[in-house]
Amino acid sequence: MWRPKLRVSIMWSYRACRRQGSALLAPLLSVIASCQLGCGPPQGPPHSGGRLAEGPATTNEQHATSVTPQHPAASEWTLPKMPPHELKPRVRVASGLVNPRGLYETEAGVLLVSQAGTGNPNAPFTGSLSEFRDRNHDGDFDDPGERTVLLGRQFSTNILDIVHRDEVFGMAGIAGGGAKMVVTHAPFDGASSLFLLRDKQVSKWSEIEGTLNDIVFSAQRSEWFAVSSSSDEIIRINDAGHASQLLKLPKLADGQDAVPAYIDLNPQSGKLLISVFGGSPVGESAGDGTELVPSSGSIIEMDPQSFKWRPLLVGLTAPTDLAVSADGTIYALELCDSFLDPTPDRKSFSRGVSHGGFRRHSGRLLRIEAKRHSVTVLATGLDTPSNLLLSGNQLWISQGMGTPGRRIPNATGIGSETLSGFIERITL
Protein backbone atom coordinates (compact mmCIF):
# COMPACT_ATOMS: atom_id res chain seq x y z
CA MET A 1 0.00 0.00 0.00
CA TRP A 2 1.22 3.49 -0.84
CA ARG A 3 2.35 5.51 2.17
CA PRO A 4 3.16 9.24 1.86
CA LYS A 5 6.42 10.46 3.29
CA LEU A 6 4.73 12.86 5.72
CA ARG A 7 2.15 11.93 8.30
CA VAL A 8 1.49 15.37 9.79
CA SER A 9 -1.92 16.50 8.54
CA ILE A 10 -4.88 18.80 8.99
CA MET A 11 -8.03 19.60 7.20
CA TRP A 12 -7.06 22.72 5.31
CA SER A 13 -4.65 25.33 6.57
CA TYR A 14 -2.70 23.16 9.01
CA ARG A 15 -1.50 21.00 6.16
CA ALA A 16 -1.00 24.23 4.25
CA CYS A 17 1.21 25.49 7.04
CA ARG A 18 3.72 22.64 7.22
CA ARG A 19 7.14 23.99 8.14
CA GLN A 20 8.92 25.45 5.10
CA GLY A 21 11.58 27.74 6.50
CA SER A 22 12.02 31.43 5.82
CA ALA A 23 9.66 33.14 3.44
CA LEU A 24 12.70 34.67 1.83
CA LEU A 25 13.52 31.24 0.42
CA ALA A 26 10.04 30.75 -1.08
CA PRO A 27 10.93 31.55 -4.72
CA LEU A 28 13.95 29.22 -4.60
CA LEU A 29 11.94 26.45 -2.92
CA SER A 30 9.22 26.80 -5.54
CA VAL A 31 11.71 26.45 -8.38
CA ILE A 32 13.32 23.42 -6.75
CA ALA A 33 9.96 21.76 -6.22
CA SER A 34 8.92 22.46 -9.80
CA CYS A 35 12.15 21.05 -11.19
CA GLN A 36 11.73 17.90 -9.14
CA LEU A 37 8.30 17.46 -10.64
CA GLY A 38 9.39 18.19 -14.19
CA CYS A 39 6.96 21.07 -14.36
CA GLY A 40 9.36 23.90 -15.12
CA PRO A 41 9.65 27.10 -13.09
CA PRO A 42 6.66 28.51 -11.22
CA GLN A 43 4.32 30.66 -13.25
CA GLY A 44 4.03 34.35 -12.50
CA PRO A 45 6.13 36.84 -10.53
CA PRO A 46 7.59 35.86 -7.15
CA HIS A 47 4.70 37.30 -5.15
CA SER A 48 1.79 36.64 -7.50
CA GLY A 49 -0.18 34.74 -4.86
CA GLY A 50 -0.84 31.12 -5.60
CA ARG A 51 -0.39 30.20 -9.23
CA LEU A 52 0.44 26.58 -9.90
CA ALA A 53 2.65 25.60 -12.78
CA GLU A 54 0.79 23.00 -14.83
CA GLY A 55 2.48 19.77 -15.73
CA PRO A 56 2.62 16.03 -15.48
CA ALA A 57 1.76 14.07 -12.41
CA THR A 58 4.46 12.76 -10.15
CA THR A 59 3.35 9.17 -9.86
CA ASN A 60 4.46 5.74 -8.82
CA GLU A 61 3.41 4.44 -12.22
CA GLN A 62 6.48 4.27 -14.44
CA HIS A 63 4.74 4.95 -17.75
CA ALA A 64 3.34 8.26 -16.49
CA THR A 65 6.60 9.97 -15.62
CA SER A 66 7.20 11.27 -19.16
CA VAL A 67 3.81 12.95 -19.60
CA THR A 68 4.03 16.54 -20.85
CA PRO A 69 1.64 19.43 -20.12
CA GLN A 70 -1.65 19.25 -21.96
CA HIS A 71 -2.32 22.96 -22.34
CA PRO A 72 -0.19 26.09 -22.57
CA ALA A 73 0.04 28.26 -19.48
CA ALA A 74 -1.97 30.93 -21.30
CA SER A 75 -5.10 28.80 -20.76
CA GLU A 76 -5.00 29.72 -17.06
CA TRP A 77 -8.01 31.78 -16.07
CA THR A 78 -8.17 34.18 -13.12
CA LEU A 79 -11.23 34.80 -10.96
CA PRO A 80 -12.50 38.35 -11.63
CA LYS A 81 -12.13 40.73 -8.69
CA MET A 82 -15.80 41.70 -8.87
CA PRO A 83 -17.79 38.92 -10.55
CA PRO A 84 -21.50 39.56 -11.16
CA HIS A 85 -24.00 38.55 -8.48
CA GLU A 86 -27.10 36.45 -8.99
CA LEU A 87 -28.05 35.73 -5.40
CA LYS A 88 -30.33 32.75 -4.89
CA PRO A 89 -32.83 32.17 -2.08
CA ARG A 90 -31.61 29.97 0.72
CA VAL A 91 -33.12 28.43 3.81
CA ARG A 92 -31.65 26.81 6.91
CA VAL A 93 -32.66 23.14 7.08
CA ALA A 94 -30.61 21.83 10.01
CA SER A 95 -29.32 23.64 13.11
CA GLY A 96 -27.37 22.86 16.25
CA LEU A 97 -24.77 20.70 14.51
CA VAL A 98 -21.13 20.20 15.55
CA ASN A 99 -18.95 21.00 12.57
CA PRO A 100 -21.05 19.46 9.79
CA ARG A 101 -18.98 18.22 6.87
CA GLY A 102 -19.89 15.63 4.22
CA LEU A 103 -23.38 15.58 2.70
CA TYR A 104 -24.97 12.91 0.54
CA GLU A 105 -28.56 12.29 -0.57
CA THR A 106 -29.59 8.68 -1.08
CA GLU A 107 -32.01 7.43 -3.72
CA ALA A 108 -34.64 7.21 -0.99
CA GLY A 109 -34.25 10.92 -0.29
CA VAL A 110 -32.42 10.45 3.00
CA LEU A 111 -29.72 13.02 3.76
CA LEU A 112 -26.48 11.58 5.14
CA VAL A 113 -24.44 14.03 7.22
CA SER A 114 -21.01 13.62 8.76
CA GLN A 115 -20.04 15.84 11.69
CA ALA A 116 -16.41 16.38 12.62
CA GLY A 117 -17.31 16.89 16.28
CA THR A 118 -16.58 19.55 18.86
CA GLY A 119 -12.78 19.38 18.85
CA ASN A 120 -12.83 19.51 22.66
CA PRO A 121 -9.69 17.78 23.99
CA ASN A 122 -11.53 16.88 27.20
CA ALA A 123 -14.21 15.00 25.23
CA PRO A 124 -12.53 14.04 21.94
CA PHE A 125 -14.90 11.35 20.65
CA THR A 126 -17.75 13.49 19.33
CA GLY A 127 -17.63 12.92 15.56
CA SER A 128 -20.50 11.10 13.87
CA LEU A 129 -22.31 9.97 10.75
CA SER A 130 -26.09 10.38 10.77
CA GLU A 131 -29.09 10.10 8.50
CA PHE A 132 -31.58 12.96 8.41
CA ARG A 133 -35.25 12.37 7.45
CA ASP A 134 -37.84 15.14 7.16
CA ARG A 135 -40.58 12.99 8.65
CA ASN A 136 -43.18 15.74 9.01
CA HIS A 137 -42.36 17.29 5.62
CA ASP A 138 -41.88 20.79 7.01
CA GLY A 139 -38.70 21.40 5.02
CA ASP A 140 -36.14 20.93 7.81
CA PHE A 141 -34.48 18.24 9.93
CA ASP A 142 -34.77 19.96 13.30
CA ASP A 143 -37.74 18.07 14.71
CA PRO A 144 -37.54 15.19 17.22
CA GLY A 145 -36.90 11.81 15.63
CA GLU A 146 -35.57 13.22 12.34
CA ARG A 147 -31.89 12.42 13.01
CA THR A 148 -30.47 8.95 13.54
CA VAL A 149 -26.81 8.34 14.40
CA LEU A 150 -25.32 5.53 12.30
CA LEU A 151 -21.73 5.87 13.52
CA GLY A 152 -20.79 7.76 16.65
CA ARG A 153 -17.89 8.40 19.03
CA GLN A 154 -15.37 9.24 16.32
CA PHE A 155 -12.22 11.16 17.20
CA SER A 156 -12.39 14.94 16.82
CA THR A 157 -9.71 17.53 17.40
CA ASN A 158 -8.99 21.24 17.11
CA ILE A 159 -5.44 22.32 16.27
CA LEU A 160 -5.81 25.99 17.17
CA ASP A 161 -2.86 25.68 19.55
CA ILE A 162 -0.64 24.99 16.52
CA VAL A 163 -1.94 27.22 13.75
CA HIS A 164 -3.79 29.85 15.84
CA ARG A 165 -6.99 29.37 13.85
CA ASP A 166 -10.14 27.72 15.12
CA GLU A 167 -10.17 24.53 13.03
CA VAL A 168 -11.92 21.30 13.92
CA PHE A 169 -11.62 18.11 11.92
CA GLY A 170 -12.56 14.45 12.08
CA MET A 171 -15.37 12.86 10.06
CA ALA A 172 -15.23 14.21 6.52
CA GLY A 173 -16.38 13.45 2.95
CA ILE A 174 -19.15 11.10 1.78
CA ALA A 175 -19.49 9.60 -1.71
CA GLY A 176 -21.38 6.77 -3.39
CA GLY A 177 -20.69 4.57 -6.40
CA GLY A 178 -19.89 1.06 -7.54
CA ALA A 179 -22.41 -0.43 -5.10
CA LYS A 180 -20.56 1.27 -2.22
CA MET A 181 -21.25 4.19 0.07
CA VAL A 182 -17.97 5.49 1.51
CA VAL A 183 -17.38 7.91 4.38
CA THR A 184 -13.93 9.19 5.34
CA HIS A 185 -12.54 9.98 8.77
CA ALA A 186 -9.61 12.35 8.16
CA PRO A 187 -7.32 12.50 11.21
CA PHE A 188 -4.84 15.09 12.36
CA ASP A 189 -1.92 12.67 12.32
CA GLY A 190 -1.72 9.22 10.77
CA ALA A 191 -4.01 7.22 8.55
CA SER A 192 -7.53 8.07 7.41
CA SER A 193 -10.25 5.49 7.88
CA LEU A 194 -12.69 4.70 5.09
CA PHE A 195 -16.03 3.34 6.24
CA LEU A 196 -18.65 1.47 4.21
CA LEU A 197 -22.35 2.09 4.79
CA ARG A 198 -24.77 -0.73 3.91
CA ASP A 199 -28.37 -0.80 5.12
CA LYS A 200 -27.59 1.46 8.07
CA GLN A 201 -24.68 -0.75 9.06
CA VAL A 202 -21.24 0.88 9.09
CA SER A 203 -18.03 -1.12 8.76
CA LYS A 204 -14.40 -0.22 8.21
CA TRP A 205 -13.30 -0.74 4.60
CA SER A 206 -9.75 0.56 4.45
CA GLU A 207 -7.08 2.59 6.18
CA ILE A 208 -4.90 4.90 4.08
CA GLU A 209 -2.05 7.16 5.17
CA GLY A 210 -2.86 10.84 4.84
CA THR A 211 -5.70 13.23 5.59
CA LEU A 212 -8.36 12.22 3.07
CA ASN A 213 -10.80 15.09 3.29
CA ASP A 214 -12.82 14.07 0.28
CA ILE A 215 -13.44 11.16 -2.08
CA VAL A 216 -15.26 10.57 -5.39
CA PHE A 217 -16.12 7.54 -7.53
CA SER A 218 -15.62 7.27 -11.30
CA ALA A 219 -18.17 4.89 -12.80
CA GLN A 220 -16.34 5.03 -16.13
CA ARG A 221 -13.12 3.75 -14.55
CA SER A 222 -14.64 1.84 -11.61
CA GLU A 223 -12.16 3.54 -9.31
CA TRP A 224 -12.20 5.88 -6.36
CA PHE A 225 -10.16 9.07 -6.18
CA ALA A 226 -9.32 11.11 -3.09
CA VAL A 227 -7.31 14.12 -1.98
CA SER A 228 -4.72 13.91 0.78
CA SER A 229 -4.18 17.37 2.25
CA SER A 230 -1.41 16.03 4.48
CA SER A 231 0.87 15.29 1.51
CA ASP A 232 -0.46 17.46 -1.36
CA GLU A 233 -1.44 14.35 -3.29
CA ILE A 234 -4.27 13.02 -5.42
CA ILE A 235 -4.64 9.30 -4.90
CA ARG A 236 -6.45 6.44 -6.59
CA ILE A 237 -8.19 3.71 -4.59
CA ASN A 238 -9.10 0.38 -6.14
CA ASP A 239 -12.09 -1.79 -5.28
CA ALA A 240 -10.08 -3.60 -2.63
CA GLY A 241 -9.34 -0.33 -0.83
CA HIS A 242 -5.66 -0.16 -1.84
CA ALA A 243 -4.29 3.29 -2.68
CA SER A 244 -1.67 4.58 -5.12
CA GLN A 245 -0.44 8.09 -5.84
CA LEU A 246 -1.59 9.85 -9.02
CA LEU A 247 -0.34 13.38 -8.52
CA LYS A 248 1.95 15.26 -6.17
CA LEU A 249 1.19 18.97 -6.40
CA PRO A 250 4.12 21.43 -6.52
CA LYS A 251 4.40 24.34 -4.15
CA LEU A 252 2.71 27.62 -4.99
CA ALA A 253 4.59 30.66 -6.24
CA ASP A 254 5.07 32.09 -2.74
CA GLY A 255 6.45 28.80 -1.46
CA GLN A 256 3.25 27.63 0.23
CA ASP A 257 2.17 24.03 0.10
CA ALA A 258 -0.66 23.64 -2.40
CA VAL A 259 -3.07 21.66 -0.13
CA PRO A 260 -5.68 19.84 -2.24
CA ALA A 261 -8.89 20.21 -0.25
CA TYR A 262 -11.80 18.64 -2.16
CA ILE A 263 -12.41 16.63 -5.31
CA ASP A 264 -15.23 15.94 -7.77
CA LEU A 265 -15.69 14.43 -11.22
CA ASN A 266 -16.84 16.24 -14.36
CA PRO A 267 -19.47 13.86 -15.78
CA GLN A 268 -19.03 15.28 -19.27
CA SER A 269 -15.26 14.92 -19.62
CA GLY A 270 -14.52 12.29 -16.99
CA LYS A 271 -11.79 14.55 -15.62
CA LEU A 272 -11.18 15.24 -11.96
CA LEU A 273 -11.64 18.72 -10.53
CA ILE A 274 -9.70 19.54 -7.37
CA SER A 275 -9.85 22.62 -5.17
CA VAL A 276 -6.42 23.83 -4.03
CA PHE A 277 -6.70 25.65 -0.71
CA GLY A 278 -3.26 27.28 -0.62
CA GLY A 279 -1.19 27.47 2.52
CA SER A 280 1.02 29.48 4.80
CA PRO A 281 4.20 31.05 3.43
CA VAL A 282 5.96 30.95 6.81
CA GLY A 283 5.39 27.49 8.23
CA GLU A 284 3.10 25.42 10.40
CA SER A 285 3.44 27.30 13.67
CA ALA A 286 5.54 30.34 12.75
CA GLY A 287 2.60 32.51 11.74
CA ASP A 288 0.15 34.37 13.94
CA GLY A 289 -2.87 32.72 12.33
CA THR A 290 -3.57 35.44 9.78
CA GLU A 291 -0.66 34.86 7.39
CA LEU A 292 -2.56 32.81 4.80
CA VAL A 293 -2.51 34.51 1.40
CA PRO A 294 -5.84 35.71 -0.03
CA SER A 295 -6.49 34.79 -3.68
CA SER A 296 -3.85 32.03 -3.62
CA GLY A 297 -6.33 29.18 -4.09
CA SER A 298 -7.38 27.56 -7.35
CA ILE A 299 -9.27 24.78 -9.07
CA ILE A 300 -7.24 22.35 -11.14
CA GLU A 301 -8.37 19.83 -13.75
CA MET A 302 -6.75 16.41 -14.08
CA ASP A 303 -7.19 13.59 -16.57
CA PRO A 304 -6.99 10.31 -14.58
CA GLN A 305 -6.13 8.41 -17.76
CA SER A 306 -3.18 10.46 -19.04
CA PHE A 307 -2.19 12.03 -15.67
CA LYS A 308 -2.08 15.44 -17.37
CA TRP A 309 -3.35 18.37 -15.34
CA ARG A 310 -3.66 22.14 -15.50
CA PRO A 311 -4.92 25.06 -13.43
CA LEU A 312 -8.49 25.76 -14.51
CA LEU A 313 -9.33 28.80 -12.37
CA VAL A 314 -6.93 30.70 -10.10
CA GLY A 315 -7.34 33.60 -7.68
CA LEU A 316 -9.79 32.02 -5.23
CA THR A 317 -9.53 32.59 -1.48
CA ALA A 318 -9.57 29.42 0.60
CA PRO A 319 -11.66 27.29 -1.79
CA THR A 320 -13.27 24.28 -0.17
CA ASP A 321 -15.81 21.91 -1.72
CA LEU A 322 -17.02 21.86 -5.31
CA ALA A 323 -19.75 20.07 -7.24
CA VAL A 324 -20.24 19.57 -10.97
CA SER A 325 -23.59 19.35 -12.74
CA ALA A 326 -24.44 17.10 -15.67
CA ASP A 327 -23.72 19.92 -18.15
CA GLY A 328 -20.27 20.61 -16.69
CA THR A 329 -21.19 23.69 -14.64
CA ILE A 330 -19.01 23.91 -11.53
CA TYR A 331 -20.26 25.12 -8.17
CA ALA A 332 -17.52 26.01 -5.69
CA LEU A 333 -17.25 27.38 -2.16
CA GLU A 334 -14.82 29.91 -0.71
CA LEU A 335 -14.39 29.46 3.05
CA CYS A 336 -13.87 33.17 3.76
CA ASP A 337 -12.47 36.34 2.19
CA SER A 338 -9.76 37.18 4.73
CA PHE A 339 -7.94 36.00 7.84
CA LEU A 340 -8.18 37.91 11.13
CA ASP A 341 -8.60 37.62 14.91
CA PRO A 342 -6.27 34.65 15.45
CA THR A 343 -6.62 32.39 18.49
CA PRO A 344 -3.33 32.29 20.44
CA ASP A 345 -4.77 29.67 22.79
CA ARG A 346 -8.06 28.12 23.91
CA LYS A 347 -8.42 30.62 26.74
CA SER A 348 -8.76 33.43 24.21
CA PHE A 349 -12.34 32.36 23.53
CA SER A 350 -13.38 33.60 26.96
CA ARG A 351 -11.96 37.06 26.31
CA GLY A 352 -14.70 38.21 23.95
CA VAL A 353 -15.99 38.00 20.40
CA SER A 354 -13.50 36.68 17.82
CA HIS A 355 -13.42 35.57 14.20
CA GLY A 356 -10.89 32.92 15.21
CA GLY A 357 -8.61 33.27 12.19
CA PHE A 358 -11.21 33.01 9.43
CA ARG A 359 -13.49 35.99 8.89
CA ARG A 360 -16.96 34.77 9.79
CA HIS A 361 -19.90 35.15 7.39
CA SER A 362 -17.66 36.08 4.46
CA GLY A 363 -17.79 32.83 2.46
CA ARG A 364 -19.23 32.63 -1.05
CA LEU A 365 -20.83 30.19 -3.45
CA LEU A 366 -19.65 30.54 -7.05
CA ARG A 367 -21.08 29.23 -10.29
CA ILE A 368 -18.27 28.59 -12.76
CA GLU A 369 -18.92 28.02 -16.46
CA ALA A 370 -15.47 27.15 -17.76
CA LYS A 371 -16.29 27.07 -21.47
CA ARG A 372 -17.61 30.63 -21.30
CA HIS A 373 -15.00 31.84 -18.78
CA SER A 374 -17.92 33.02 -16.67
CA VAL A 375 -18.09 33.24 -12.87
CA THR A 376 -21.23 34.29 -11.00
CA VAL A 377 -21.68 34.71 -7.24
CA LEU A 378 -24.80 32.83 -6.10
CA ALA A 379 -24.48 33.35 -2.34
CA THR A 380 -22.56 35.66 -0.01
CA GLY A 381 -22.26 35.88 3.76
CA LEU A 382 -21.79 32.13 4.23
CA ASP A 383 -20.24 31.19 7.57
CA THR A 384 -17.06 29.17 6.90
CA PRO A 385 -18.75 26.85 4.37
CA SER A 386 -16.92 23.54 4.05
CA ASN A 387 -18.96 20.95 2.14
CA LEU A 388 -21.36 21.09 -0.77
CA LEU A 389 -24.03 18.77 -2.17
CA LEU A 390 -25.71 19.22 -5.56
CA SER A 391 -29.04 17.46 -5.87
CA GLY A 392 -31.28 18.36 -8.80
CA ASN A 393 -31.75 22.13 -8.74
CA GLN A 394 -30.71 22.44 -5.12
CA LEU A 395 -27.41 22.94 -3.34
CA TRP A 396 -26.86 21.99 0.30
CA ILE A 397 -24.03 23.70 2.22
CA SER A 398 -22.41 22.71 5.54
CA GLN A 399 -21.43 25.76 7.58
CA GLY A 400 -20.24 26.86 11.02
CA MET A 401 -16.69 25.55 11.48
CA GLY A 402 -14.97 25.92 14.83
CA THR A 403 -15.52 25.57 18.56
CA PRO A 404 -19.25 25.27 19.30
CA GLY A 405 -20.57 27.74 21.84
CA ARG A 406 -17.96 30.48 21.55
CA ARG A 407 -18.95 33.99 20.56
CA ILE A 408 -18.33 35.12 16.98
CA PRO A 409 -19.31 38.24 14.97
CA ASN A 410 -22.74 37.87 13.42
CA ALA A 411 -23.64 38.35 9.77
CA THR A 412 -24.24 42.10 10.18
CA GLY A 413 -20.76 42.66 11.62
CA ILE A 414 -22.27 44.78 14.38
CA GLY A 415 -23.37 42.28 16.99
CA SER A 416 -22.34 38.75 17.93
CA GLU A 417 -23.80 35.25 18.04
CA THR A 418 -22.99 31.80 19.39
CA LEU A 419 -21.04 29.58 17.00
CA SER A 420 -23.08 26.56 15.95
CA GLY A 421 -23.02 24.34 12.89
CA PHE A 422 -25.85 24.31 10.38
CA ILE A 423 -26.88 23.33 6.85
CA GLU A 424 -28.51 25.63 4.32
CA ARG A 425 -30.31 24.70 1.11
CA ILE A 426 -30.12 26.95 -1.93
CA THR A 427 -32.52 26.68 -4.86
CA LEU A 428 -30.94 27.40 -8.24
Q: Give me the chain's average pLDDT, please.
A: 84
Edge-to-edge strands, sheet with 374-382? 319-324, 330-334, 363-369, 374-382
Identify the pLDDT of residue 369: 96
Identify the pLDDT of residue 210: 92
Identify the pLDDT of residue 351: 81
Residues in the chain, total: 428
Q: Which domains does the chain have, with CATH numbers?
A: 13-427 (2.120.10.30)
Identify the pLDDT of residue 373: 93
Identify the pLDDT of residue 53: 57
Could you tell me which of 159, 164, 267, 276 has the C-alpha nearest to residue 213?
276
Which amino acid, one-letter code, is at 253? A
pLDDT (tens, 9 = 90+) of the chain, 428 residues, equals 333 333 333 344 434 444 333 333 333 333 333 333 333 333 333 333 456 655 554 444 333 332 333 333 445 799 999 999 999 999 999 999 999 999 999 988 999 999 999 999 999 999 999 999 999 999 999 999 999 999 999 999 998 888 889 999 899 999 999 889 999 999 877 799 999 999 899 999 999 999 999 999 999 999 999 999 989 999 999 999 999 999 999 988 888 889 999 999 999 999 999 999 987 777 666 667 788 889 999 999 999 999 899 999 999 999 999 999 999 999 999 999 999 998 888 888 778 899 999 999 999 999 999 999 999 999 999 999 999 999 999 999 999 999 999 999 999 989 999 999 999 999 99
Could you tell me which of 128, 61, 72, 73 has the C-alpha nearest to residue 99?
128
Identify the pLDDT of residue 50: 55
pTM: 0.85
Q: Which residues pair with 243 in a beta bridge?
A: 237
Element (H, E) at 28: helix 26-37
Identify the pLDDT of residue 289: 74
Q: Are 168 and 156 in contact (CB under 8 A)?
A: yes
Q: Is 346 helix (H, G, I), strand (E, B) or coil?
A: helix
Identify the pLDDT of residue 8: 34
Identify the pLDDT of residue 91: 98
